[in-house]
Each structure stands twice: as structure tokens, then as C-alpha cells.
Chain A
Amino acid sequence: MLWDRILALVSLILGGLSLALSTTFPRGQGPGPELFPSILGMTLVMFSVILLLNPSPDRHEENSKGWLSLALVLVFFALSPTLVTHLGLAVAAALGAASVSLLLKEPLARLLVTSLIVWLLGQYIFVRWLGIPG
């Protein structure tokens, strides 16, 4: 129920925002760029209200430790553009794999093997072979 309400509220805000912003778009001789977003915004608002009034029971289980792990991995991904720019694609990806392994409490050996494979994949296949700058 909680997730349904949260998601209904988020889509209600997004639908409302799309409706409001589409009024600022320029108009041609007939309807223009505002037509489609405003129709979608309106429909989204309608369905969000329906869901908000009739939420279904939650099925998923989470735990508080999981939220902390999720927050940490989100911080990593939020920093990933900077990491890719400064450390390179292969190293950033290897760090990503290592952080997920660490948060999932994988043994150190597995963490190192995973990170090494990812680094090799990133460096030799994507950067060297496919020519991705990084």
C-alpha cells in the first residue's frame, strides 16, 4: 500500500508538472508541442488519482540494512560520471563491481576476482578493442 501511494503521488506530481509546463510551450497555427505532453499529463493524473484511492497491499520485503546498502551504492553511481572522467571507464566499473560485492558481503577473494574480471573486460574489450574513450 505504501509503495502504491508513493508511486501514485510521484506520478501525480509528474503528470501535474507536465500539464503545467506544457502551457508554456509555443503554439503554431494549430496545436503544437504542448498537445501530446498535456494529454499524457492529464491521463497520468487521472490514473494516479485512481491508484491513490485504491492502493493494493505490498508484496515485497525490505530491511533497514538493505536501505543503507542501497544508499551507499546510489552514492557510488551518483559519483560515477566523475569517477569515469578522472579514473577511466575500466577502473570506475571495477570499483562499481567491488562496492556491490562489498555491500553484498561477498568474500574478499570473490570481490577481487570479480573486480579484476570487470577491469580486464572494460580495459581490453571496451577501451582498447572497441575504442571507447576512457
Chain B
Amino acid sequence: MNVMLVLTPEVFLAMFIAGLYGAIFGAIPGLTATLALSLFIPFALFLPPEVGVAAIISLVAMAIFAGDIGSVLVRIPGTPASAAYTEEINDVAKEKGPFFALGLSALGSALGSLVGTGLLVVGSLGMAMLARQFSSFEYFWLVLLGVTTGILASEPFVKGAIAFILGMLLATIGYDPALGYPRFTFGNPNLLGGINFIVALIGLFGLSEVFYQLLRAKTDEGTTSNLRLGLVRGGSLRTFFLEPLLLIIREKALFLRSSILGTFIGFLPGAGSDFAAWIVSNFARLTKAPKELVTLAGTSANNAAVAGAWIPALSLGIPGDTLTAIILGLFLTLGIHPGPELFSKNLSLVVEMYLIFFISSVVLMPIIGYIAAKVVGLVLKLPKGMLLSFIAAISLIGAYSINNNPFDLYLLTAFGVLGLFFKLGNFPLGQTVLGLVLGPLLEQNLMMSMIKTHWNLFSLFERPVAIFLAVANLLLVLSLGWWKMKQVLKVRSLQSRTRRR
């Protein structure tokens, strides 16, 4: 095992460049971490695995942190993960200066990510050891857990469910896993191998954004010009590093609680960093915590959740959120199969990932955070029209480069249109991606279990861990259903009270 591989200049350079790229996308409202990652995948395919993985980890971590930059400057969160505490961080910036607010965000994110990384190491090793005992029966229930949470936790529920199921249905195109029969190919040989996940991803997130902005016919007069008004000028290392660090040390209990809870929420399939930030900052608000503590809780939780989402992804091959779903798709394309086997056959890569998480938390996040805080104004001066033209071109190049097949460009356009319609109808795009990844896993494990036992459905309840996971599924469906029902009743009673008045 060559752990020193991670300390090569190429890996550091890739982490730095990808981190800055992620920070730019994270900072600009409307451009998300998912979009940044989708557009980066075609490049990552051609990089050596250790360099590509390093770049991706750094990109995601930085994009989630940089979502706070827009919140600090103009009260517009750069990513959904920053939306949970936008008002608070903006108020902190007004009261104590943008440099302090960005420092609090950078250090809170870095240390939150560090806690998440510690839990990632322990959690993924433990899960991988446990998962060695798993067969298709346990995996079926585990994937089903991901599917049920993915559907039930999505907002709005019905639209999320449609997006998720459509993703699963699209994944059935091509040879089926049981008999090898071609489904929904309509005689087109290009569809026999199924829809390429990365092409779908680039269309859904990259090209659809271009289509959407063209439809709105608004470019520069929107967000970017506003952001120019809020450039960060001045500010010292003391304001950026020392003062926020002292605050975190003073509030270590809140910080640790938020980071641990954030990691746990990130670990749950279908949750993710935005969900973690909402829950944790709401907890802080309930305790009447001051604004800077709500910010600290939210920003440390959303970055801890990034590491948390990697626990099921690495140890079981099941994505915790859209970002890890994309990364799992890339891993499979590169021939890396996450799951317990990854730990026995390719442990060096796993250790490398841990180290990269550690380096990106301790070194990169504070440094790039500081640089981003200084140069963000220059970056945001990039005209949006130019940026969209680049996105269109990179989408085309990226989709073609995967298989060198012109047919993929038709698929790209089709997914771009689907993504546009979903955006117009306010459907969660991430659910389609989760469906695309989880659908084949669910079908494969169900068919494998059923073929093994000649369609004895009771075989799914015969093994102890399988029973435990089946009960977990049931409990989850019941509790999420109850919670949703409570919400509906609450809204109805509020509506009827308003009508009476």
C-alpha cells in the first residue's frame, strides 16, 4: 500500500485547481456543486484514479463551503446547503464584517469536515466489515431503504416521487439483469448497453441550465451584477482565522454536536448536506442561539454531511446523496467497485480517500477559503452569458468524449430538455439521478435473490440482518409517513384558521 502516493505534486495541484473551481461554482448563485461535479466528470475520466478522486473530493468540499460566499455578500445562497442559515450569516457579515463571516464559514466547514472524516474512517471500516456478511437479500433491503428515503424525504413529495421513479424507469433501458433481454431499445443498438449515466447527468444538470437561462432570457442583469456590489475589501488574517477559531473553541459543544449530527444525517440515504444544514440550524434556532452560532452549527453540519454521505457509498456502494450518486457512477465507469470488496482489494485507494478528506479539511478549505474571500469579486465579474456558453460547449465535449459516440449527443439533448421541464415544474432533479443509480441495484439484487430461491418471497425474511433491515424499512416508511401526515394536517388547520378569520 503506497499511502505516500497521495502526497505527490500532481495530486496536490489537482486538489487545489479543483477546489478553486468548486469554490467558483459554489459561490455563484444558480450554479451548484452538482453542476460543477457533472461538468468535471468528463475530465476526471481521463485522469489517473488517485488524481481524479483527489480532485473530486476537494471540488465537492469547496463547493459546499463556497455556497456561503453568496449568502455573506448578497443574501443569496450559492448552494442549497447554505440556504438554511443565509439570513444569519448575512447578518453576522453586517455586524462583524464579511471577513469574519467568511472566516467562520471556512473554519466551521473545515473543522466540521474534519469531524466528518474521523467518523467516515470509523463508520466505513465498520460498515465494510459488517457488509462482508451481506448477500443479495441484505443488499436488496438496504437499497430499498435508499429508495424509500429518497422518495419519502423528497420535497415536494409527489414531484420527487415522479422524478425518482422516472430515473429508475430510464435505468431499465437496455439488457435486463435476469435474462439479458433488451428492454425499451426500439431496435436501436446504441441503447442495448443502457443509458450512459454520465451523459444523462451532464444533460440533466449542465445543458438544462443553459436551456433554462435561455428561456428566461436573463443573464448579466441578475445575480452577478448584484454580487459585484458586495466585494470583500480589507480584512486581516486575525479576523479570518483567529477570531472564528476562538469562537469555535468557546462553543465546542455546539460545534461537535452539529458536526456529529451532520455526519449522521449525511450517512442516511437520500438526505445530504442541505438536509443536514436545515435540521442542525433549526435545532440551534430552537435553543435561541445567537446568529453566529446558528451559522456555525449550519456550516459545520453541511460539510460534515459531505463526509457522512461517503460512508454508505464507500462501504456498501449505496449513495448517500446526489453528489455521491454521481461519484459512484464515475467509479463504476473507471472500473472501481465500491463496497466491502473495495476495502479488501483496493485498500490503498480507500486510505488515499481518507487522507484527501483530511488534507482538504485541514489545509485546503481554510487556504482556498481565504483566497476565495479575497478574489471572489474578480471571479463573480465573469459575465454569465460567457459562463453559459462554456457550459454548453463543455457539455457537448464531455458527453461525446465518454464513448466517442455521436448518438450520445441526442441523449444529451433529450436529458437537457427533461432537466429543463423538471426545472420549470419545480421537480427535484437530484431524485432522478438517485433513481438512475439505485434502480439497477434494486432490480439486480431482487432478481438475484429470487432466482437463487426459485421465487420464494419468504427468503427475503430468512436471514437475521435481512429481517432487521426489513423492519428498518417498515419503521422508516411509517415514521416518515406519520411525519408527512402531521405536516399536511398542520397546514390544513392553519388554512382553516385563516379562512375563519
Contacts and interface: CB of A to CB of B under 8 A. Distances in A.
Interface in A107-123: 110-111, 113-115, 117-118, 121-122
A114 B382 CA distance: 12
Interface string B191-227: 0000000000000000100110111110100000000
Contact of B211 (A73, A105, A118): A73
Given A3-B425, A100-B388, A81 B407 contact: yes
Contacts of A48: 162
Contact of B183 (A8, A25, A69, A89): A25
Contacts of A10: 421
A47 to B, nearest CB: 5
Nearest to B211: A70
Nearest to B442: A36
Contact of B210 (A66, A100, A117): A100
B400 A132 contact: yes
A101 B211 contact: no
Interface size class of chain B, counting residues whose CB lies under 8 Å from the partner chain? 35 or more
Contacts of A78: 410, 413
A100 B214 contact: yes
Given A61-B216, A100-B392, A47 B165 contact: yes
B241 interface: no
B400 A104 contact: no
Interface stretch (B18-26, B100-108, B172-180, B304-312): B172-180
Contacts of A80: 396, 406, 409, 413
Contact of B165 (A22, A43, A100, A117): A43
Q: Which of B217, B451, B455 has the most CB of A within 10 A?
A: B217
B386 interface: yes
B169 A18 contact: yes
Nearest to B422: A7
A73 B385 CA distance: 14
A130 B401 contact: yes
B178 A59 contact: no
A82 B409 CA distance: 10
B166 A93 contact: no
A67 B215 contact: yes
B159 interface: yes
Given A77-B409, A84-B409, A110-B385, A118 B393 contact: yes
A110 B382 CA distance: 11
A29 B69 CA distance: 59
Contacts of A36: 172, 176, 439, 442-443, 446
B425 to A, nearest CB: 4
Interface size class of chain A, counting residues whose CB lies under 8 Å from the partner chain? 35 or more
B230 interface: no
Contacts of A7: 162, 421-422, 425, 427
Interface in B415-429: 416-417, 420-427
Contact of A44 (B166, B216, B417): B166
B218 to A, nearest CB: 9
B165 A66 contact: no
A122 B393 contact: yes
A5 B223 CA distance: 30
A75 to B, nearest CB: 10
Given A14-B166, A97-B389, A122 B455 contact: no
Nearest to B213: A104
A18 B166 CA distance: 11
B454 interface: yes
Given A21-B184, A33-B178, A40-B165, A56 B426 contact: yes
A37 B425 contact: no
A132 B397 CA distance: 10
B401 to A, nearest CB: 5
A56 B156 contact: yes
B424 A60 contact: yes
A28 B214 contact: no
Contact of A77 (B158, B207, B394): B207
B389 A37 contact: no
Contacts of A21: 183-184
Interface of B: 46, 156, 158-159, 161-162, 165-166, 168-169, 172, 176, 178-179, 181, 183-184, 207, 210-211, 213-217, 219, 383, 385-386, 388-390, 392-394, 396-397, 400-401, 404, 406-407, 409-410, 412-413, 416-417, 420-427, 439, 442-443, 446-447, 450-451, 454-455
Which 10 pairs show the lowest CB-CB distances between chains A and B? A81-B406, A33-B176, A30-B455, A3-B425, A104-B385, A66-B215, A97-B393, A97-B389, A66-B217, A77-B413
5 contacts: A29-B455, A31-B455, A32-B176, A69-B217, A93-B397
Interface of A: 3-4, 6-8, 10-11, 14-15, 18, 21-22, 25-26, 28-33, 35-37, 40-41, 43-44, 47-48, 50-51, 54, 56, 58-63, 65-67, 69-70, 73-74, 77-78, 80-82, 84-85, 89, 92-94, 96-98, 100-101, 103-106, 110-111, 113-115, 117-118, 121-122, 126, 130, 132-134
Given A70-B214, A97-B393, 18 more contacts: A4-B159, A14-B169, A30-B451, A40-B172, A43-B165, A47-B161, A62-B215, A63-B217, A66-B215, A66-B216, A70-B215, A81-B406, A97-B389, A100-B385, A100-B393, A104-B389, A110-B385, A130-B401
